[in-house]
Every structure is written in C-alpha cells, then in structure tokens.
Structure 1
C-alpha cells in the first residue's frame, strides 16, 4: 500500500533539514525512556518469537494518520509492539489501559491478508537494467512508491536472503526467501527535470523488479565472455 510513512517526492513538507554526520556520533536515544521501546521490541520479536520485524513495520503503518504524525519514532515502536501483543493474545487491551491509566490507542486491524512472492526467476546481475513493477498493493510492502514503474541499474546483489515482506509482514511464515538489490536511479527520472542532478540508490527485493530488455543493434552478437565478469562480482 502507499504507506503513511512513504513520503519520498511528496510536496508540502518544505525543505528537509539534513546535516552530514560522518565524523561524529550522536546519541541514538534522546529521552531516558526511549531505549525501553527497543528493549520491548526485541523481547517480543526475538526472545518470545511473537512476530517479525516486518509485522511490526506493518503494525506501525496501520496507525491512523493523526495517531501516526502525533507520535514520535519510539512512540510508534511501542504502539506497534503493543498492538501485535494484543493481537497475539499475550496481553489484553484492558491491561494496557489499566497500566496507562487511560485509553491506550492501538493501531487499526489488518485490511489485507498479504500476498505471495512472484515465481522465482534467474537472479539479476550487476549492470542489468531493471524496472520496478507498477503495482498498487493492499497491505504491507517495502517498495517505495516513488520508484514504482521507474527504471534503474543493478549495483549489488546480497548473498543473504530474507523473507518476502508482503508475505511475512502479514504473519505468514511461508514467505519465500529472496535476495535484495541495490538499484541506482537517476534523480530526474524519479522527480522530473526540476530536480537536482544526481542518483538515488534504493534497496529492493527481487520480487519487485523486472528485467529491462536491452536492444541489440544490427551486427552485434551478445558475448557470453563479456557477461562473465559481472556474474563473478555479483555477490561482491
């Protein structure tokens, strides 16, 4: 779905303040309670095995607009975790209300069962031109809307595979394991001629991509030998 967090290219937010922080390390937590949000998340997801990280992402996406924008980053983690624990029957809404002393507002319920990954295909190689699928998916998806339908170039393929988000994000443990790719896009292809020059690299699951056929000129013969180095460095 077009998630509430998916704001790339959205107008009306003004200039995004940004500072380069490559030489210094800033505190991860800004309030004393914030580390407890992460502790609660990993206790429930890892130790108790109650849900996956993609299920948490989906729970946060299920928050209403006012609820989401009125909450801080770590507030959203607490709300998403609490929502999933209630849905799993680990804790009740009444117990949460009693602890808070008022109504504990949870995320909304599921609106979609999710979907399986597309059938497996040969992997993409470094240098391949790919196009992001033009898909409008109900429920959880980790394909940013601003790259939907756009063409880019493969820079890297991971050697490790992860569960397909559109499946596992809905609690379906049968999710197909997939590689992800670093895909480079031209900024002007994403946001038009008024954008600055440059490129954007987006990590995308294999199931979100299709190969772009490369036109062969008359007299050109594709060389298997020429393609060999790209194959050898695909997992570098």
Structure 2
C-alpha cells in the first residue's frame, strides 16, 4: 500500500501533469515551466523519501531522474534545431542505462527472461520495421536506443521474486509505460503525427517515472 505522503504526492503530481498538458495547448510560455515541473517535483519527493535506500542505488536513481529532466528540457527546443532532439535522445539513453543498473542490483538470477524478452523483441522489431524507412540519419541512433529501452524493461522484469510484489509490479508497469511513451514519441515524430500526441506521450511518460520511483521506494 502507498503511504499517506505518497498518496498526497500522487495527487499533486497529477495536478502538475494536468497543468503541463493544458499549457502545452493553451499557454506555450508557461509550458516551459510546467513541463520541467513534473520531474522537478518527482526528484524533490524522491530526495526526501529515499533516506532509507542504499546510497549507491539512491545516486543512480537520482541520476536517472536528472538526465530525464534534462531530456525533457532539451526536447522542448527541437523546433529550433534538430540537435536538441539528438541531445535529448542521449539524455534519455543515459537515464535508461542508469535505471538498468538500479534494476539489475535487485536481479533474481534464477528468473528466466526468455519469454518476456521474446515478446519485447517481437514488439521492438515490428516498431522498427514500421519506422526504418523514415529515420534517415537517425536510423542507427534510434536502433541503439530501442535496444537500451528493451534492456531496461527486461531488467525491470528480472526483479521478480527478489523484491516485494508491490515494488516489482510498480517498477515493471513503469518500465512498460516508458516503452509505450517512447514508442508513441517515435511514431509521432518519424512516421505520422498522432492526434492528441502531447496527452498520450506525457501521460504514459509521467506515470512511468512516478511508478518507477514509487516502486523503488518500496523495494526495501
């Protein structure tokens, strides 16, 4: 179960997310403050709630959140230069690598990931097949990024049986939501613009981060 402080923060987090979605459509200037506020609020919450967590894991998780925040900021400026998208991709790639390191610290070595991994490979291959002819110079970067995020989801799956059930479920759900969010972003940017893309991408992304953080707080 979530603690009282976690429930209260979840409500605040949802309000910030709603504000972000509103400003993205109606108040572009305020959006430059609203979008970073999502991760800033989550980072602040994690800092105050994670005192019981091993220092190494705490630093890696904070690193993942900070690089995610940097990626959020960089992606707000993609209209000014394509280099901002590349830099944002690198920032989120780094965040995923840090999450992989965090998840693998609690790996259940007796867990067989092949069925889960096969499902992810089929999904990732299908998505890449759809996108490949539209990627241009981003073909290899996107391919490598997909490998990393699939690895991140697999490492979340490998925690099963070595952590609390609630922690496992929250982190795995967050990892899958992150995968969905990045997939929507890729389709929207490289294949075909999606209706209400800001809502679908930000909703899945924000709750991905929230569930991962809540799950890691429940690990110990």
Structure 1 and Structure 2 fold alike (TM over 0.5): no
Category of TM-score, reference length = shorter chain = under 0.3
- The structure with the largest strand share of the pair is 1
What TM-score, normalized by structure 1, do the two folds share? 0.25
Q: Which has the larger radius of gyration?
A: 1
- The structure with the largest helix share of the pair is 2
What TM-score, normalized by structure 2, do the two folds share? 0.27
